[in-house]
Amino acid sequence: MIDFTAARSDSTADELWCCEHPPVFTLGQAGRAEHLLSDLGIPLVKSDRGGQITYHGPGQVVIYVLLDLSRRRLKVRALVSAIEQAVIELLAAHGVLAERHAGAPGVYVGAAKVAALGLRVRRSYSYHGVSLNVDMELSPFAAINPCGFPGLPVTQTRDLGIFLTPSQAAMALAEHLAVQLECRQQ
């Protein structure tokens, strides 16, 4: 992702990369290590994305958003809104009401976070992206202050009655994200 972004030119096509990660805690650029509350033997990796600490693991969909923001005439805040809206619309398509919380990027169902965002923009190119909890082991989140918020509850689509596999959720979210990005480019 970093190499792809560094090698981009004005003619490089935008891409969305969908994946799952092995268990890992990631700490954003300004992240504070004290948000890791206990050692579960899960690696902690420092990242150049925004945000604090989060957990990634099997059953969670991660979509890296590799865009030329200048070409799309898109500001960072609009990109964040597009990503959040794509998650909100995916959940709404399955009858789940989700929302944004002021001052806390991501998507929430009630008080519980279902999707986290962390971005980096270099030379007007975005990378990193969004993680959506689909069907995963949530207990590692208890070892951190998710996104730097003590006691923040997390949830996943399976527990919300959405029975998509991670692969199905990735494809659906990528489609919603593509629609949001095209709408905001016009």
Catalytically active residues are: 147
Q: Dihedral sign, CA of 54, 150, 136, 126? A: negative
Is residue 36 classed as helix, strand or coil in its secondary structure?
Answer: strand
Amino acid at 7: A
Cα–Cα distance measured from residue 171 to residue 167, given in angstroms and rounded to the nearest whole number? 6
If one counts every other C-beta atom within 10 angstroms of the C-beta of residue 22, the result is 9
Cα–Cα distance measured from residue 156 to residue 136, given in angstroms and rounded to the nearest whole number? 8
Cα–Cα distance measured from residue 186 to residue 48, given in angstroms and rounded to the nearest whole number? 30
The residues, any chain, with a CB within 8 Å of residue 24's CB and separated by 6 or more, are: 42, 43, 44, 45, 55, 56, 57
Is residue 56 classed as helix, strand or coil in its secondary structure?
Answer: strand
The DSSP secondary-structure symbol of 41 reads: S
